Amino acid sequence: MSTFSVAIVRYEKPLESVRRAVDLCQGLDHLPPKAKVFIKPNIVFWTRTTPFPKWGVITTSRVVEDMVVLLKERGIDEITIIEGITTFDPKDRETPAHAFETLGYPILQKKYGVKTLDIFERPFKKVDLGAGVVLNFNEDILQCDFVVNLPVLKTHAQTIVSLGIKNLKGLIDVASRKKCHSPDIQKDLSYMVARLANKLPPSFTLLDGIYTAERGPFFEGRLRRSNLLIASSDIFSADKVGAKVLGYDPSQVPHLVYVAEDFKRPVDLSDVEVVGEKIESVASYHEYAFPYTEDGKLPKPLEKLGVKGLSYPQYDSTICTYCSGFTTIMLMAIAHAWKGKPWDEVEILTGKRMKPSPGKKKTILLGKCMVQANKNSPDIQEMIPVKGCPPSLKEAMNALHQAGIDVSPSFFENMDMAAGFFFKRFEGKPDFDESFYQVSSL
């Protein structure tokens, strides 16, 4: 049986640590000469209005630049950083441009000739990934010679881990992303994600664990300074080791199980040679799920507040990025609105699969998918639909008001305020260093 090398390196110094990870696993040994290379970081969220926690959420600019230097040393001149940042306004191209600029990518262009590419400004191509999965991929990356995949080492509330394979979801169009969050029990999110790398050009994956995140992919969970790099020329092997380092056997991660089945590979590490640090010496359990009550009907923080008369069932894999972005705002607004008096048996449903509970007096259906799925349900006494894809924040606020939950408009007038709220947690903590997301012009 063939074995695949995966390097685990403790991050200690700029360039040297990334170089060691690459060299230990011989990750760039199959890089074609004069290759056209695309670098895929993970920029899962961005806002222009307020500072927000990037640690463990977004790939560090430090690792991006170090990889650029190593590629240049190998004679690679054509390097492009590619990403598809989800914005609530599909026509918003200013936010991705602001992300690229803030992360220092224009400086990389001046220093090394690196280009940037927003996939939503480029054409897509329908790709058959096998197993009945057909998605629309950015055409440019399909035509390149080599991909350097730079995800963050983090857990994910819907897929348990978000590593090399999951990072490729940022290369498909919005319709395909929504398609991945299918209500089909069999062809669910994990089933779709498992196939994302099937038509990828030759690649190298480096999991950026300088910072890691629990309960990702965003910043609501616990963010950590972990100082780890995990690297391999085999994306599946990198992800198996990454899962173990985060505290999960690969067999616990559904999309990794699908990959093993598809390629007739073991789901354990029997075909992997770990070089550098041992998994046991660096592994640290990272929770992936947000805490809910035992019956899954209410987030634990609301239970601790003593909230009564409200059911806000635990998210499932069918809720896509757009509607999941509402969850933080809704919960913060609801918590702030709680004054100790029970609400009138209100239920808030999300995603594509949830069904109303009999006996609830008011049922908020959040988003077009939920409205379509339950608009004729006999179990709804009073339906409060929040239509749209994505739905309007103002309509979500009005729905809560209609249900008798007197949330403050301030939470809904600027959705990005939540990002700023979470940023305050890290003020005065030297381990959380913004300079990792900057590029020196010198």
Decide if pLDDT at 325 tops 90.
no
The range of the structural domain enclosing residue 364 comes to: 300-408
Residues 274, 313, single domain; the answer is no
Q: Please name every residue paired with 126 in a beta bridge, in sequence order, or none if there are none.
A: 136
Confidence of residue 416 (pLDDT cuts 50, 70, 90): confident
**114 found inside a domain:** yes
385 near 365, Cβ under 8 Å? yes
**59 found inside a domain:** yes
Query: Which segments of 194-296 does DSSP mark as H helices, in order?
Result: 235-245, 254-262, 279-282
Confidence of residue 352 (pLDDT cuts 50, 70, 90): very high
Decide if pLDDT at 433 tops 80.
yes
244 near 275, Cβ under 8 Å? no
Confidence (pLDDT) at 285: 98
Confidence of residue 247 (pLDDT cuts 50, 70, 90): very high
Residues 213, 265, single domain; the answer is yes
**79 found inside a domain:** yes
Residues 57, 185, single domain; the answer is yes
- Tell which wins on pLDDT, 393 or 416: 393
3-state secondary structure 331-352: HHHHHHHCCCCCCCCEEEECCC
Give the three-state DSSP class for 329: helix
Strand ranges (E), 104-233: 115-118, 124-128, 134-138, 146-149, 152-156, 160-162, 203-216, 223-232
**173 found inside a domain:** yes
Rounded distance between C-alpha atoms, residue 182 and residue 388, angstroms: 17
Which domain CATH number covers 222? 3.40.50.11440
Residues 339, 236, single domain; the answer is no
HSE of 393, CA atoms in CB hemisphere, 13 A? 21
From 253, 288, 323, give the residue that closes a domain.
288
223 near 211, Cβ under 8 Å? yes
Over the stretch 260-305, which tens digit does the pLDDT of each residue have? Answer: 999 999 999 999 999 999 999 999 999 999 999 999 999 999 999 9
Decide if pLDDT at 209 tops 90.
yes
Decide if pLDDT at 41 tops 90.
yes
Residues 284, 304, single domain; the answer is no
47 near 6, Cβ under 8 Å? no
Over the stretch 163-195, which tens digit does the pLDDT of each residue have? Answer: 999 999 999 999 999 999 999 999 999 999 999
Rounded distance between C-alpha atoms, residue 218 and residue 198, angstroms: 26
Neighbours of 49 (CB within 10 A): 13
* Of 80, 180, 162, 149, the residue nearest 121 (C-alpha): 80
Residues 281, 311, single domain; the answer is no
Residues 284, 364, single domain; the answer is no
Token pair for 174: 């919005």
Across all residues in the chain, what is the average pLDDT? Answer: 96
**414 found inside a domain:** no
Work out the angle between the directed axes of helices 105-112 and 61-73 (0-180°, nearest 10).
Answer: 20
Token pair for 433: 């260093």
Decide if pLDDT at 339 tops 90.
yes
pTM score, whole prediction: 0.97
Neighbours of 245 (CB within 10 A): 27
Decide if pLDDT at 351 tops 80.
yes
Number of domains comprising the chain = 2
179 near 135, Cβ under 8 Å? yes
Residues 77, 193, single domain; the answer is yes
**53 found inside a domain:** yes
Residues 234, 193, single domain; the answer is yes
Residues 307, 271, single domain; the answer is no
Confidence of residue 2 (pLDDT cuts 50, 70, 90): confident
**216 found inside a domain:** yes
Residues 316, 222, single domain; the answer is no
Query: Which segments of 343-441 does DSSP mark as H helices, in order?
Result: 368-374, 393-402, 410-413, 417-423
Work out the angle between the directed axes of helices 254-262 and 235-245 (0-180°, nearest 10).
Answer: 150
Residues 260, 132, single domain; the answer is yes
Confidence (pLDDT) at 294: 97
From 288, 319, 350, give the residue that closes a domain.
288
| End-to-end alpha carbon distance in the chain | 48
Decide if pLDDT at 327 tops 90.
no
**159 found inside a domain:** yes
